[in-house]
Structure 1
Amino acid sequence: MLDNKKVLSSLLLAVLLLLMPGRDCRAISEAGASSTGKAVNVRATWSVTAAHPGDQAVLAVVLQINKGFHVNADEQQIIPVEDLKLFPTKVAVTGADKGLNIEAPLYPSAVPLKVPFLAERVMSFKGKTIVYLPVRLEEALSAGGQVGLSLQVQYQPCSEEYCLLPEKIEIETSLPVVAPDMVVEKIHQELFVGYEPGLVPEVSKDIAFGMFGWTFSVDSSSQSGVVLLLIIAAFGGMLLNFTPCVLPLIPIKIISLSYAAKNRRQCILLGVSMSLGVLVFWIGLGILIALVSGFSATNQLFQYPLFTITVGLIIAIMAGGMFDFFSLQLPAFVYMIHPEQDTLKGSFGLGILAAVLSTPCTAPFMGAAAAWASTQPPASTLAVFAAIGIGMALPYFFLSVSPHLVSKMPKTGPASVLVKQVMGLLMLAAAAYFVGVGVEVLLSSPADPPGKLYWWPVMFFSFCAGGWTAWRTVQIASGKKAKYFFTGLGLAIMLISVLGVFRLTHTGPIDWIYYTPERLELAQEEGQTVVMVFTAEWCLNCKVLERGILDSAKIVKLLTDERVLPMKVDITGNNPEGKAKLKEVGSLTIPLLVVVDAKGNQVYKSDFYTANQLHKAVQGTLK
């Protein structure tokens, strides 16, 4: 009867906790633990009886999870859940004798688990779960002794209805070191069937997508899931056209199509040609990521300063076409990208350039799809990147088959000249941006903030575009509505340019610490929550999020709390440690924000987030 009362009290407690707002999976009572007994048994076993100096041995950390229970996945595979802090499974080395080189633990593939009180599935381990810890002995070790290792294994047992308190198990083990002529035997081989040297855990079949608090996942193991994934990737590619990176080229294409609007066949051919240029670039990028070792990110091209500067110079040349500078004696290839030429080669090149310019920006949903594709076999990688290309190319194809949408663009007279001149000035601003960023990449060094002086010429050309719009509108506009609208638009651009240059060159209200592994480790030793913002000078989306969200009064107050450390991981230049950290947190693209609590647990990750989401995630670590 006493046992029944305990079980009843545990169930009532679990129900009450589930009904409480802001559930925390770490908060559960000892009553639940006592009623169920030991949910997980942990042991560690070596792969060999002994090891020679210079050998590699593997330690298997075995979690025997009893029926009816599961534990959360490790940090890399866990999927964040709104309003719920998931305690990850972790195997950490707390002490080791000299002469041991210990690799990162290799976790098994997590499985998605549906629990009644959550809409999302939780990535979990069930049954016999084995974490492998590869250890290499140095050649200089002396035979005849032993080498010791201390581990801490942390996990949180959960059933489908409730979670027990997190547990941390300390393990100490040792391995004899024998002379090279001594025989070493393999033991417990049944535990090491799943281990291969250099083994990397299989990526979860569930792909998580999210944007500003709206999250969902796609199961890539089914055919319907793959189809849905390709549709989402295409939608993300289409959204790339509305990012700040691609906007400078859209006016050129509209002007180009407007000249061919009366000839439907020519208009369609130009649109198809540009669409093919976009598609060819994205397929080429997919081939690089699938087959070329070391190439792993869509924005990797802009980490090379000469490439960024070259892109800026090409945009400057195209801007020259807007001012009719092509009447001068310029190289023949330049004439292909003159908007009035209406050549298929020019449209194809414009498509490639538009796709190139899109790579510093990440559209919603596209980043998660590209990151998943980069870990898959070549066929899957190419399919996803082709879908991104198709999605990005669709608006240009749609404009080409609907010439009436661009036919009203002025093609002659003062209004036409004004449109081209203003677009030319704005493109010069874009050219100054890319050239300036390339120079900053050359001059910057890791862990130091890059310079921001290049924003002055960028905003100067933008200011000129606004001023010329207002001045010429007053002179040539005949209708009052058009005169007031475009004059006001020009004045607004001038005001935004003046305000923008001071805001973008200012360091901002937050005292950012720039990432190094040592600084992150020190923050965790001091018990601080770390808000890591992955950024780069060539990432315009990063600038938008920083100025619009991170510089808001609510977030500034939060990040100035002494218990919180705001940290930037800037990969503008050659920053291998920053790039490695980006990959470690499970992403290949920026912008990205990660919140790490004082214990080193990744509690929040998002590429498109709101101030309320960030505030809630950080406050949850300070309770």
Structure 2
Amino acid sequence: MRIFFRTLLLAFLLAAVSPHFAIAQGPVSAAVFWPADRARPGEVVPLAVVVQISKGFHINADAHQIRPAANFKPYPTKLTLIEADEGLQIEAPLYPPAELFKTQYATGGLMSFAGQSVIYLPIKFAAELASGTQPNLTVELAYQACTDSRCLLPQTVRIKTSLLVAAAAEQVTSINQQLFAGYNPQGQIARSSSEVDFGFFGWKFTVNGSSWAGLLLLLTTAAFGGMLLNFTPCVLPLIPIKIISLSYAAKNRRQCLLLGLFMSIGVLAFWLALGGMIALVSGFSATNQLFQYPVFTISVGLIIGVMALGMFDFFSLRLPEWLYLIHPEQDTLHGSFGLGILAAILSTPCTAPFMGAAAAWAATQPPTATLTVFAAIGSGMALPYLALSAAPHLVRKMPRTGPASQLIKQVMGLLMLAAAVYFIGVGTVMLFSAPTQPPSKFYWWPVMIFSLVAGGWLAWRTYQITPGRPLKVFFIGIGVLMMGISTYGAVHLTDRGPIAWVYYSPELHEKAKTEGKAVVMIFTAEWCLNCKALEQGILDNSKIVKLLGQDEIMPIKVDITGSNPLGREMLRRTGSLSIPLLVVFSRHGEQVYKSDFYTVDELSKEIIRVLN
């Protein structure tokens, strides 16, 4: 009886000094702690989930930091909200930096947590919560404990906790200060990992930015991704304008170089500004966030439309003075600088290979590293324009007068009008779209009609003005091909596709986990042309369609075309900043695969693996 009462007294004392008792399962115990004895309404309060791991054991890292081995599939650590009273808004958990743990069964070791590891869960207490209330929440920690020679079965523990809501003028006392010394509300805990994974259609590699050599390789990869942005459909409409502008200045080498230099500076300035906003401005976290505002998207479309009119020499009409700055034949330095900014803006809806992973990693680093990586992306994107201006002979043969010159400008003008209609149409759709409903695709018809007219006009005028048979056949063929692609695009881009996608909600995602279904989740938007390309070229493949049609899989589409804060939050939780993105979740809800550029074979292999 004496032992019994001592044990009872010890349990009581533990409960008194800690907000809630610890739960132990084998070599791992978990407990929760608050940083204060009360929370004020409207305040974000972090909950610390302290995981104590016995010596000789480790638990696998979270899904974002984990590095699967070829001969072993680790079970990632995951902290999940199970239940919360009304008035509590939960943000994504912030995991500690993982460390490499050498094992006998996994080649290369595993990224793991050991000793005492603290996971922070930021929780916002709604401003409407009444003082004196004590809202409850329940969290679940899933993990797998391993030694260097064996692994135990995965475990889950649930812990219920609550915190009293204080009155506005009531004193709040800080507690457990040592536990929260490393907490940073900007996510520094999650930013500590120095490794970034790159993938491109099945080819994958990892770069560790902790060393100078690794950082240099990371910056080089980011710059290469930035350069590839110029070949995405988002930026292509502006390239002819710059080439035409440089061709007019090609005879003056110094002027040509200055034009290219100022456009490059404009590109770099935008990417630095974007990196600064991501690093320093609270709430700004995505490279494509600007295009989530309808007014901005429609404005970009109008600007491109005005530039298209310049290709038809409509600026001979009396228009506002500022419009002359973006006339393609204006060889002004400020015009080139503005064109560089516009080109960089247009690149943000598209993600080039390697660029998305580098940007996502940079956004989780301290401001200096964030700005450095975004500067590398901007420098890579600006490089082709600088190279063209430094070698004027490359654009000197561009026809500047005569019917051929007019035809080039007219065709490019029609294609730019198609781009203008696209952005205006997307912006209009955003005004009326709902997160759980498929957005309208009707705007694709006028876009493709302008493209079809451009192809037809190229074929017809080439037939009329081109004397040489080889050139005539070549350019007529391009025109006919453009017409065919436009017709195909009008039909297929307005089609809902063969996959029965359901649109994301947290409840739907949780339902899939409850029913034991794997989830294939894609993040997309109407302004994301890369997303459309992957859907048409990869996801609509008959092999993928058949796999996603199984009852054991729920295909979920997260469309962030319009206002979709829950969808954007889900994107952030996956550890990404940009779209397109595809994520596969296991039957237990773990994130087991993520990629922005993938192949049919790679994706089908992952889907089959997650079902087995």
Change (3 A) 1:499 1:60: closer
In 2, Cα distance between the equivalents of 1:57 and 1:471? 67
Residue 167 of structure 1 pairs with residue 167 of structure 2: no
In 2, Cα distance between the equivalents of 1:562 and 1:324? 58
Other structure's SS at 1:505 match: coil
Residue 567 of structure 1 pairs with residue 582 of structure 2: no
Letter matched to residue 390 of structure 1: S
How far apart are 1:234 and its partner, in Å? 1.1
In 2, Cα distance between the equivalents of 1:264 and 1:492? 36
1:256-296, CA deviations, whole angstroms, 9 ceiling, x for partnerless residues?
Answer: 11121122111111111111111111111122222222111
Q: Which residue of 2 aligns with 1:25?
A: none
Q: Which residue of 1 aligns with 2:441?
A: 452
Other structure's SS at 2:155 match: strand
In 1, Cα distance between the equivalents of 2:90 and 2:331? 61
Corresponding residue pairs, total:
577
Other structure's SS at 1:360 match: coil
Q: Which residue of 1 aligns with 2:76?
A: 88
In 2, Cα distance between the equivalents of 1:199 and 1:492? 50
Residue 77 of structure 1 pairs with residue 65 of structure 2: yes
Q: Give 1:488's match in structure 2, choosing from 471, 477, 499.
A: 477
Q: Give 1:385's match in structure 2, choosing from 361, 364, 374.
A: 374
Q: Which residue of 2 aligns with 1:311?
A: 300
**Are the equivalent residues in 2 in contact too, given 1:440–1:451 (CA < 8 A)?**
yes
Q: Give 1:226's match in structure 2, choosing from 208, 215, 231.
A: 215
Residue 63 of structure 1 pairs with residue 52 of structure 2: yes
Change (3 A) 1:258 1:563: same
Unpaired runs of 5+ residues, structure 1, are 1-37
**Are the equivalent residues in 1 in contact too, given 2:190–2:364 (CA < 8 A)?**
no
Q: Which residue of 1 aligns with 2:28?
A: 42
In 2, Cα distance between the equivalents of 1:557 and 1:111? 40
How far apart are 1:166 and its partner, in Å? 2.5
Residue 128 of structure 1 pairs with residue 116 of structure 2: yes
Residue 350 of structure 1 pairs with residue 336 of structure 2: no
How far apart are 1:378 and its partner, in Å? 2.2
- Shifted more, 353-362 versus 283-292: the winner is 283-292
How far apart are 1:386 and its partner, in Å? 1.3
Letter matched to residue 573 of structure 1: G
1:396-439, CA deviations, whole angstroms, 9 ceiling, x for partnerless residues?
Answer: 00001111111111112111111111111111111111111111
In 1, Cα distance between the equivalents of 2:479 and 2:271? 36
How far apart are 1:531 and its partner, in Å? 0.6
In 1, Cα distance between the equivalents of 2:562 and 2:235? 22
Cα RMSD (Å): 3.4
Change (3 A) 1:313 1:219: same
How far apart are 1:230 and its partner, in Å? 1.6
1:118-154, CA deviations, whole angstroms, 9 ceiling, x for partnerless residues?
Answer: 6766321123334467899985469xxxx99876543
How far apart are 1:46 and its partner, in Å? 5.9
**TM-score normalised over the length of structure 1:** 0.84
How far apart are 1:62 and its partner, in Å? 3.0
Alignment of 1:249-268 (within 5 A): 249-268=238-257
**Are the equivalent residues in 1 in contact too, given 2:94–2:190 (CA < 8 A)?**
no
Unpaired runs of 5+ residues, structure 2, are 1-23
Other structure's SS at 2:198 match: strand
In 1, Cα distance between the equivalents of 2:505 and 2:237? 35
Q: Which residue of 1 aligns with 2:383?
A: 394
Change (3 A) 1:196 1:269: closer
Change (3 A) 1:373 1:107: closer
Change (3 A) 1:485 1:223: same
Q: Give 2:261's match in structure 1, choosing from 272, 275, 279.
A: 272
How far apart are 1:84 and its partner, in Å? 5.1
Change (3 A) 1:344 1:99: closer
In 2, Cα distance between the equivalents of 1:117 and 1:139? 53
In 1, Cα distance between the equivalents of 2:86 and 2:402? 80
Change (3 A) 1:340 1:82: farther
How far apart are 1:376 and its partner, in Å? 2.4
**TM-score normalised over the length of structure 2:** 0.86
**Are the equivalent residues in 2 in contact too, given 1:296–1:374 (CA < 8 A)?**
yes
Alignment of 1:526-565 (within 5 A): 526-565=515-554
Other structure's SS at 2:396 match: coil
How far apart are 1:40 and its partner, in Å? 5.6
In 1, Cα distance between the equivalents of 2:488 and 2:531? 18
Alignment of 1:133-144 (within 5 A): 139-140=131-132
Change (3 A) 1:199 1:279: closer
In 1, Cα distance between the equivalents of 2:438 and 2:153? 39
Other structure's SS at 1:231 match: helix
How far apart are 1:113 and its partner, in Å? 4.0
1:222-246, CA deviations, whole angstroms, 9 ceiling, x for partnerless residues?
Answer: 2222222222211111110011100
How far apart are 1:586 and its partner, in Å? 0.8
Other structure's SS at 2:282 match: coil
How far apart are 1:176 and its partner, in Å? 12
In 2, Cα distance between the equivalents of 1:173 and 1:311? 49
Change (3 A) 1:262 1:78: same
Change (3 A) 1:269 1:159: same
